[in-house]
């Protein structure tokens, strides 16, 4: 991959530049990451942001030198000796970790610089080009362990050409403006605090948004023939041992112990709980498919350092459901799911970007013949629903293949949200069965599926997608009635009462502030409609509507305003329902 080579070379060229500019700095590791690279350095004095342009300039000079990049293979011990002799003790330590019998490869920039590296690399520093930029500084512990010395990390991004680099920098700038953590604060949606890493304190407005999403998802799945259930949050360890989660997922589970000596685990997922409901009583083939949904909280003990706003949390709810069906129903159920997902994404204003089919991994349950059938069925279902899949070898779970649905947001980023996973193993482990037409017991197939995935993460994605400016039906506050002068306060109160009575989420702002100040403030909070009222509006029974992002005011009668806003605030699925009724 050309970008991978470029980024890897950029990391080396940056390390050379740093060592030329700041003699005595030791290099450690410098991997390629998404969109760029970083390098961790050991240096007494801290780097400052002012150093970055200097390092960039030196990197460009090294590119201009067009130094040939050469690979050499050394005995491992020679590597340890050499790097120690030039004071690169971290590099020497890395090489010491390689078995003594092995050889190491180093990449040299002519005679000017070298690094331990697996490669591959470009043929010369000139081939790197100059479409790179150093983006930020951070601290990082050596080998990621807080007992080790703190190193200094410099991040950069590198691309094939200036146009790609510019587009990337614009995307970052735009993404920063849309950062859901910033908007979460300015819109007063939620906060996170130190004592609850990865846990969300949803404020009234944020929770309104959340409940609006949940209400929408509930209507959609109910319309698609799902039933909703609720299973316990905490279950005995033996239960998770039986389901296989204790063995596979134990590190990510929150464990608790009682005074009576029980060991319990907080559920990381709903699947085994749903099998218990399926197993309760005799099931007949006539009942299948059973589509069982649950929106209860799930807890996963992500490392505290990896949590990130709403996007990576320890506590979440999923729009999770399990479809218990027969082999013959896999294709039709999967197709119906893909159709539902497409429709939900369209309603939410996001675009399905791609669908990937994760195929059998090395370690797996079941025969090759079973896997071939399962993989082909998922692909067939996706095709029937009008989507093409990209096959990803080795990426499936050990118990079955999986469709992954990636959506594209307003600034072109893609997010994997939806999944559909075929599972033959859990029904087997937990002894789920139904009585078939032949009167004998059969195993159902289990389809694990989610459209949004984690609701927290999905809402985070939506906040960034809309940059907080939600369509009216999703907006936590749909309208603020703002008075121009205090003699319109009574009328303002009447207006907000009528908006609320019509089912709109409306608030009143009668503060003694200038109207422009009020408009600016509610615009920052991304309120979609500001209903401005002054004495003239009060006298005429009118209101002036101002839309978020628009300058114009539209003066209409209060009745007309209510009719317009309630129509716009109707969720898209309910609009369809009324249209067909």
Q: Report the catalytic residues.
A: 271, 300, 318, 320, 322, 402, 448
CA distance 18 to 27: 9
- Taking CB under 5 A as the binding criterion, the range among 56-64, 269-277, 384-392, 545-553 that sits at the site for Zn ion is 269-277
Which backbone phi and psi does 471 adopt, to 5 degrees? -60, 155
State the minimum distance, in angstroms, from the CB of residue 269 to Zn ion: 5
- Taking CB under 5 A as the binding criterion, the range among 72-80, 287-295, 384-392, 445-453 that sits at the site for Zn ion is 445-453
The CB-based long-range contact list for 160-165 (8 Å cut-off, 24+ gap) reads 160/2, 160/3, 160/6, 160/129, 160/131, 161/129, 161/131, 162/130, 162/131, 164/131, 165/131, 165/132, 165/133
Per CB under 5 A, 360 contacts Zn ion: no
Say whether 444 sits in a helix, a strand or coil.
coil
Per CB under 5 A, 55 contacts Zn ion: no
Which backbone phi and psi does 366 adopt, to 5 degrees? 95, 170
Per CB under 5 A, 496 contacts Zn ion: no
Using the minimum distance from each CB to Zn ion, give the nearer residue, 271 or 403: 271
Per CB under 5 A, 538 contacts Zn ion: no
State the minimum distance, in angstroms, from the CB of residue 271 to Zn ion: 3
State the minimum distance, in angstroms, from the CB of residue 371 to Zn ion: 19
CA distance 481 to 499: 9
Per CB under 5 A, 299 contacts Zn ion: no
State the minimum distance, in angstroms, from the CB of residue 302 to Zn ion: 18
State the minimum distance, in angstroms, from the CB of residue 457 to Zn ion: 17
Per CB under 5 A, 180 contacts Zn ion: no
Please say whether the beta carbons of 399 and 426 come within 8 A. yes
State the minimum distance, in angstroms, from the CB of residue 402 to Zn ion: 11
Using the minimum distance from each CB to Zn ion, give the nearer residue, 271 or 532: 271
- Taking CB under 5 A as the binding criterion, the range among 73-81, 260-268, 270-278, 509-517 that sits at the site for Zn ion is 270-278
Annotate 131-164 with b (16+ C-beta within 10 A) or e (fewer): bbbbbebeebebbeeeeeeebbbbbbbbbeeeee
Please say whether the beta carbons of 20 and 14 come within 8 A. no
Using the minimum distance from each CB to Zn ion, give the nearer residue, 90 or 337: 337
Residue 269, C-beta contacts closer than 8 angstroms, at least 6 positions apart: 245, 298, 318, 320
- Taking CB under 5 A as the binding criterion, the range among 222-230, 267-275, 382-390, 433-441 that sits at the site for Zn ion is 267-275
Using the minimum distance from each CB to Zn ion, give the nearer residue, 47 or 458: 458
Per CB under 5 A, 518 contacts Zn ion: no
CA distance 282 to 299: 31
Exactly one of 271, 321, 358, 482 binds Zn ion (CB under 5 A); that residue is: 271
State the minimum distance, in angstroms, from the CB of residue 151 to Zn ion: 40
State the minimum distance, in angstroms, from the CB of residue 425 to Zn ion: 11
CA distance 187 to 318: 24
Per CB under 5 A, 300 contacts Zn ion: no
Per CB under 5 A, 245 contacts Zn ion: no
State the minimum distance, in angstroms, from the CB of residue 335 to Zn ion: 19
Cα diameter, the chain: 92
Which of these, 380, 402, 410, 389, lies nearest to 453 by C-alpha position?
Answer: 402
Using the minimum distance from each CB to Zn ion, give the nearer residue, 267 or 364: 267
CA distance 80 to 106: 12
Angle at the Cα of 90 from the Cα atoms of 85 and 93, rounded to 5 degrees: 85
Burial of 111 (0-12, 13-18, 19+ CB in 10 A): exposed
Per CB under 5 A, 200 contacts Zn ion: no
What's the DSSP call for residue 116? E
For the chain, what's the residue count? 581
- Taking CB under 5 A as the binding criterion, the range among 45-53, 339-347, 440-448, 514-522 that sits at the site for Zn ion is 440-448
Using the minimum distance from each CB to Zn ion, give the nearer residue, 198 or 273: 273
Per CB under 5 A, 316 contacts Zn ion: no
Using the minimum distance from each CB to Zn ion, give the nearer residue, 105 or 276: 276
State the minimum distance, in angstroms, from the CB of residue 441 to Zn ion: 23
Exactly one of 7, 220, 314, 448 binds Zn ion (CB under 5 A); that residue is: 448
- Taking CB under 5 A as the binding criterion, the range among 71-79, 87-95, 169-177, 441-449 that sits at the site for Zn ion is 441-449
Per CB under 5 A, 561 contacts Zn ion: no
Using the minimum distance from each CB to Zn ion, give the nearer residue, 265 or 475: 265
* Number of chain positions touching Zn ion (CB under 5 A): 2
Residue whose tokens read 């030039």: 86
Per CB under 5 A, 267 contacts Zn ion: no
| Backbone CA torsion sign across 484, 561, 217, 311 | negative
| Backbone CA torsion sign across 465, 467, 468, 472 | negative
Please say whether the beta carbons of 43 and 91 come within 8 A. no
- Taking CB under 5 A as the binding criterion, the range among 264-272, 387-395, 427-435, 540-548 that sits at the site for Zn ion is 264-272
Using the minimum distance from each CB to Zn ion, give the nearer residue, 448 or 526: 448
Residue 524, C-beta contacts closer than 8 angstroms, at least 6 positions apart: 186
Using the minimum distance from each CB to Zn ion, give the nearer residue, 202 or 458: 458
Per CB under 5 A, 422 contacts Zn ion: no
Per CB under 5 A, 133 contacts Zn ion: no
| Binding residues vs Zn ion (CB under 5 A) | 271, 448
């Amino acid at each position: 991959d050309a970008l991978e080579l470029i980024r890897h070379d950029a990391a080396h060229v940056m390390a050379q530049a740093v060592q030329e500019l700041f003699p005595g700095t030791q290099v450690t590791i410098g991997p390629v990451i998404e969109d760029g690279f970083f390098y961790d350095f050991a240096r007494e004095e801290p780097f400052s942001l002012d150093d970055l342009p200097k390092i960039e300039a030196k990197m460009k000079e090294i590119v201009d030198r067009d130094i040939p990049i050469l690979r050499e293979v050394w005995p491992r011990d020679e590597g340890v000796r050499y790097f120690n002799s030039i004071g690169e003790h971290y590099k020497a330590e890395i090489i010491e970790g390689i078995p003594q019998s092995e050889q190491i490869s180093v990449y040299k920039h002519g005679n000017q610089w070298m690094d331990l590296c697996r490669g591959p690399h470009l043929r010369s520093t000139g081939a790197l080009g100059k479409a790179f930029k150093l983006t930020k500084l951070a601290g990082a512990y050596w080998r990621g362990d807080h007992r080790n010395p703190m190193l200094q990390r410099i991040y950069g991004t590198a691309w094939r050409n200036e146009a790609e680099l510019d587009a990337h920098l614009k995307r970052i700038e735009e993404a920063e403006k849309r950062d859901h953590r910033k908007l979460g604060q300015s819109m007063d949606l939620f906060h996170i605090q130190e004592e609850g890493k990865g846990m969300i304190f949803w404020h009234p407005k944020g929770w309104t948004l959340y409940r609006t999403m949940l209400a929408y998802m509930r209507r959609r799945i109910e319309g698609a023939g799902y039933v909703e259930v609720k299973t316990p949050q905490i279950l005995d360890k033996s239960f998770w041992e039986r389901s296989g989660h204790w063995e596979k997922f134990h590190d990510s589970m929150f464990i608790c112990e009682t005074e009576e000596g029980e060991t319990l685990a907080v559920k990381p997922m709903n699947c085994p709980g749903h099998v218990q409901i399926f197993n309760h009583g005799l099931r007949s083939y006539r009942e299948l498919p059973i589509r069982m949904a649950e929106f209860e909280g799930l807890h996963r003990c992500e490392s505290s350092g990896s949590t990130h706003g709403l996007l990576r949390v320890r506590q979440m709810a999923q729009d999770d459901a399990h479809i218990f069906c027969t082999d013959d129903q896999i294709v039709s159920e999967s197709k119906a799911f893909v159709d539902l997902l497409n429709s939900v994404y369209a309603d939410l204003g996001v675009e399905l970007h791609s669908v990937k089919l994760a195929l059998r991994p090395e370690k797996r349950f079941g025969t090759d013949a079973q896997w071939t059938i399962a993989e082909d069925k998922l692909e067939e279902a996706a095709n029937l629903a009008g989507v093409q899949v990209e096959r990803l070898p080795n990426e499936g779970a050990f118990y079955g293949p999986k469709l992954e649905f990636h959506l594209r947001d307003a600034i072109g980023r893609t997010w994997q949200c939806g999944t559909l996973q075929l599972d033959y193993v859990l029904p087997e482990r937990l002894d789920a069965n139904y009585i078939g037409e032949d009167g004998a017991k059969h195993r159902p197939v289990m389809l694990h599926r989610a459209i949004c995935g984690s609701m927290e993460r999905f809402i985070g994605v939506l906040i960034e997608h809309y940059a907080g400016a939600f369509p009216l039906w999703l907006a936590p506050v749909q309208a603020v009635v703002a008075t121009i002068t205090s003699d319109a306060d009574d009328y303002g109160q009447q207006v907000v009462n009528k908006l609320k009575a019509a089912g709109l989420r409306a608030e009143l702002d009668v503060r003694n502030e200038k109207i422009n100040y009020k408009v600016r403030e509610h615009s920052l909070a991304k309120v979609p409609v500001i209903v401005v009222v002054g004495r003239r509006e009060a006298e005429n029974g009118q209101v002036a509507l101002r839309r978020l992002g628009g300058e114009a005011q539209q003066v209409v009668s209060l009745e007309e305003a209510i009719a317009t806003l309630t129509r716009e605030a109707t969720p898209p699925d309910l609009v369809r329902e009324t249209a067909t009724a």
